């Protein structure tokens, strides 16, 4: 079984300040982890993914995330927020069990608000 917990339903930061969106996961198997962004009335866009290679993963639009196995975390960060970053962000875990029906598990999402 696997699960994802996004610790904050809403995060508000000022433009130009750092962004931190927190995600903790649990998985019976070595997981793959992803962050997706969803802008209003749009589909989901993949920001980045971790698949057991480098623990620090760089994605699009200046985002990155660090896989910390000891903390079972995969927090998303960006050094300087931009107004266009305002959106809903989803942390996703996929179990690499080679079988079974767990598939993709989505977190409930974090709504990122950028203050001017």
Residues that bind another protein (CB under 8 A): 4, 9, 32, 34, 36, 41-46, 49, 90, 92, 94-96, 101-109
Could you count the other beta carbons within 10 Å of the beta carbon of residue 51?
14
Of 36 and 81, which CB lies nearer to another protein in the complex structure?
36
Tell me the backbone φ, ψ of residue 89, rounded to 5 degrees.
Answer: -120, 135
Give the bridge partners for 5, in sequence order: 24
* CB nearer another protein, residue 43 or residue 116: 43
Give the shortest CB-6-to-another protein separation in angstroms. Answer: 8
Nearest-CA neighbor of 35 among 2, 1, 61? Answer: 61
Cβ at position 9, least distance to another protein in Å: 8
68 CB contacts (<8 Å, ≥6 apart)? Answer: 55, 74
CB closer to another protein, 22 vs 49: 49
């Amino acid at each position: 079984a696997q699960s994802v917990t996004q610790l904050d339903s809403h995060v508000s930061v000022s433009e130009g300040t750092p962004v931190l969106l927190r995600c903790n996961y649990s998985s019976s198997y070595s997981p793959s982890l992803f962050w997706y962004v969803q802008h209003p009335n749009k589909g989901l866009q993949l920001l980045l993914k971790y698949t057991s290679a480098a623990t620090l993963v760089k994605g699009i639009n200046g985002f990155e995330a660090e896989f910390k196995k000891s903390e079972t975390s995969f927090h998303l960060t960006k050094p300087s927020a931009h107004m266009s970053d305002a959106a809903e962000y989803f942390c996703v875990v996929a179990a690499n069990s080679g079988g079974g029906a767990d598939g993709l598990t989505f977190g409930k999402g974090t709504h990122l608000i950028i203050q001017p």
